[in-house]
Amino acid sequence: MEESKELIYGLNDRPPLRETLFAAMQHLLAIFVAIITPPLIICSALKFDLGTTAFMVSMALFASGVATFIQCRRFGPIGTGLLCIQGTSFSFISPIIGAGMMGMVGGKMNVEMGLSYIFGACLVASVVEMIVSRILPYTRKIITPLVSGIVVTLIGLCLIKAGINSCGGGQIAMDNGSFGSMQHLGLALLVLISIIFFNRSSNRFLRMASIVLGLLIGCIVAYFLGMIDFSKINGIASFNIPIPFKYGLRFDIGTIIGIGLIYLVTAVEAFGDITANSLISGQPVEGEVFMKRARGGILADGFNSMLAAVFNSFPNSIFAQNNGMIQLTGVASRYVGYFIAAALIILGLFPIVGEVFSLIPDSVLGGATLLMFGTVAAAGVRIIASTEITRKAVLVMAISFAMGLSVELVPNILDKMPEVIRNIFSSGITTGGLTAILANAFIHIKE
């Protein structure tokens, strides 16, 4: 509760409009790229056209705005009532790409079919996180910090593959034979170095905007290299109307199980983020009030992801980076969240926003995402390091990483397996995560 002394505006304070807008702008700066990056990566991996990619980016912004408003406002049991920002989750990228590949027909991607499998699985599996919110004390005994740390590390390690593919130029470069060229790798390296340079700055604004500035530098260079063509932006509707179930729904049990496991881990991560947010906001971090907040936040996490699937977007999760923003600004007012939510919704309703960001070359995006994904893996290592590394912990880590990375490095090991098994275990995150849960539960060693 001592943290509240450092706050300029508390949870239920209403800052003046100018200060509210300033705080909201800084939060947007911290989350904008993180919200649009997952749909860009997924659409690139699945070879979606520019129009579909732009729509996915727009819907990601729209869904994040709605989710943020629900978390901040709190409706009945749903939401934290804190300045809690939600955005598109990186954790689901790998299994979502796997689900989307079910839309491949005769070597060509059927966009509608691929997205229908993705949204069907994301919608059904979101129930997992909502159930976890109701039985929170029991799930924390199963998903320990060790298990959570292993899964988060695997998420980062498995995503690095997508990041390095983007650095090489992505699927487009693979198709035209320029993958891994000096132009693509040099551009990715420029973005990477730029982000590191700005992130090391003692100026907090440059540090907060490091990813945005790195991408901006990369895009400027890419434009002069002829890699960005603004003439592609034509015939665009002036307004996006969110259409529920635009691509329909299809269901595959293996995909649902795989994505359901990520929801399970996301619930545990959300609990940690809510705890940190409560502490920074000067609110209790134990007792009945806190538990009500935590359960409401995790319930909203699952509900908002289900809502995102309805409106053709990918799962949402609570963004941890915004907790740091509250500390930096000294503003914990949840009313700031209303402005952030409104800005995200408005941006999502204008197709031009999605179109512009869809033009970012894969190699530019790769330079930023490679660092982001490495940071995710490092965060997982940090969680593991916070636990006692016993003989049992070493065994659990060893078998989990071995099983998880094996299917990522040698995916054809599952070729002879039934389709359901292939769909469940084709993701290293799912395989390693399930292994971690089972190994942690059944391996017993007397120290």
Distance CA 7, CA 329 (A): 8
Beta strand 86-88 with 316-318 is antiparallel
One-letter amino acid at 121 equals A
Which helix H or strand E contains 275, and what residues bound it? helix 253-280
Total-model pTM? 0.79
> What pLDDT does 3 receive?
44
Distance CA 339, CA 165 (A): 36
Tokens 């094996």 appear where?
A: 406
CB atoms within 10 A of CB 196: 12
Distance CA 83, CA 322 (A): 9
Q: CB–CB of 342/27 below 8 Å?
A: no
DSSP per residue over 197-239, as a string?
HHHT-S-HHHHHTHHHHHHHHHHHHHHHTT---GGG--S--SS
Q: What is the CA radius of gyration of the chain?
A: 21
Distance CA 28, CA 25 (A): 5
CB atoms within 10 A of CB 16: 9
The token pair at 415 is 């070729």
Distance CA 295, CA 302 (A): 11
> What pLDDT does 6 receive?
66
Q: CB–CB of 331/23 below 8 Å?
A: yes
CB atoms within 10 A of CB 447: 6
Residues 6+ apart with CB under 8 A from 142: 437, 441
The token pair at 323 is 């907790």
- Phi, psi at residue 317, to the nearest 5°? -145, 165
CA-angle at 282, arms to 277 and 286, nearest 5°: 75
Residues 6+ apart with CB under 8 A from 155: 90, 91, 94, 376, 377, 380, 429
User: What is the residue extent of each domain of the chain?
Assistant: 17-229+245-442
Nearest to 269 by CA among 389, 395, 368, 376: 376
Nearest to 312 by CA among 232, 237, 241: 241
The DSSP 8-state label assigned to residue 443 in this structure reads -
| pLDDT tens digits in sequence order for the chain, 447 residues long | 444 556 788 888 898 998 888 888 878 877 888 898 899 889 988 989 888 988 999 999 999 999 999 999 999 999 999 999 999 988 898 889 989 999 888 778 899 999 999 999 999 999 999 999 988 877 777 778 888 788 878 878 887 888 888 899 887 888 888 899 999 999 999 999 998 998 888 876 777 678 788 889 999 999 999 888 877 776 555 778 889 999 999 999 888 988 998 898 788 778 878 887 888 888 887 788 888 999 999 999 999 999 999 999 999 998 876 777 787 677 889 999 999 999 999 989 888 887 788 888 889 988 888 887 887 788 788 888 888 899 999 999 999 999 999 988 898 898 888 877 877 787 788 888 889 989 998 988 876
> What pLDDT does 371 receive?
83
Which helix H or strand E contains 132, and what residues bound it? helix 111-134
The token pair at 162 is 């997508």
Handedness of CA 190, 193, 196, 199 (dihedral sign): negative
Distance CA 427, CA 419 (A): 13
The length of the chain is 447
